[in-house]
Amino acid sequence: MQLQAIIEALSLSACEEPVENSEVRGGYCSDLLSDVMGKAAPRSIWVTNQAHPNVIAVASLIDAAAVIIAGGIQLEAGTMQKAREMAIPVFATDMPAFEVVGRLYELGVRGTVRGV
């Protein structure tokens, strides 16, 4: 599924423009960075409530298609600068993570795990 279709369907707010319309091959939801590093598959869209710069480092490490910061959480200082440097699209929504994941599932985005 294309990232732009997800952005539109979920009415996501891009934390910064422009956003590359890349392919999303699955999804992963976790706030535990070590869990994401070990299990999230490449080109997944990652849903989290974490908003600090380390999220961007992990997203780059797993080759995430994008990060969605759920629950109306505000980005910490330095997070967008790191996202720009690492070319990671970051989106925000007031929806709780549970709802975001349910909406992604309705769109056909399925959970993916590295190596499975």
Q: Is residue 40 part of a domain?
A: yes
Domain that holds residue 12: 3-106
Cβ atoms within 10 Å of 76's Cβ, excluding its own: 13
Quick one: pLDDT band at residue 18, thresholds 50, 70, 90? low
Q: Is residue 60 part of a domain?
A: yes
Q: What pLDDT, on the 0 to 100 scale, is given for residue 114?
A: 83
Domain count, the chain: 1
Would the CA dihedral through 40, 72, 56, 67 be positive or negative? positive
Q: Is residue 16 part of a domain?
A: yes
Q: Is residue 114 part of a domain?
A: no
Q: What pLDDT, on the 0 to 100 scale, is given for residue 79?
A: 94
Report pTM: 0.94
Residues shown for the chain:
116
Domain containing 20 — which CATH number?
3.40.1390.20
